[in-house]
Amino acid sequence: MTNVEEIKDKAKGVVIDQIDQRMTDLGNVVGAHAGNLRAMSDTLRNQGQDNTARLVDMASDRLNQVSTYLTQTDGDRLIHDVESLARRQPLITGAAGLVLGLTAARLLKAGATQRYRTYSTESDFSTETETYGVR
């Protein structure tokens, strides 16, 4: 095995480990939300709202399934499943990519606007340019 291949394999292992860790963390968060929904359904049931409680139970069960999948699936298997979904459902994959891209653009824009406001209130350009003789 060449040095480049060793580095490539090591990088792949690091990426897969990071994906595995992040998905496990996400699975734990999703599991906590499923527990919150279960408590909500109990409260609804105690208030006599059985139909709504059943719907919340169904949502809780789905979140529990997602949580179990995320916490028990390793990074390599998760990547394989995502690739498989992308091959079977290219329109869904494209739509998800579009939504993620638009969301990322909005987040970047919001962050840039906040940084600009912070910077412009901390330093006054007209004072700096007059100090250095630039107009």
Whether the pLDDT of residue 27 is over 80: the answer is yes
pLDDT of residue 59: 95
Containing 47, the helix (H) or strand (E) segment is none
Rounded Cα gap, residues 7 and 12, in angstroms: 9
Rounded Cα gap, residues 53 and 65, in angstroms: 18
Confidence of residue 16 (pLDDT cuts 50, 70, 90): confident
Over the stretch 62-98, which tens digit does the pLDDT of each residue have? 999 999 999 998 888 888 998 999 999 999 999 999 9
Confidence of residue 120 (pLDDT cuts 50, 70, 90): low
Domain boundaries, the chain: 1-87, 89-135
Containing 105, the helix (H) or strand (E) segment is helix 90-122
Residue bearing the bigger pLDDT, 67 or 135: 67
Give whole-number Cα distances, 1 to 8, 15, 125, in Å. 11, 20, 57
Residues 6+ apart with CB under 8 A from 135: 129
Q: Model's pTM, two decimal places?
A: 0.62
Residue bearing the bigger pLDDT, 26 or 121: 26
Record the tokens describing residue 42, joined without a space.
């109990």
pLDDT of residue 64: 95
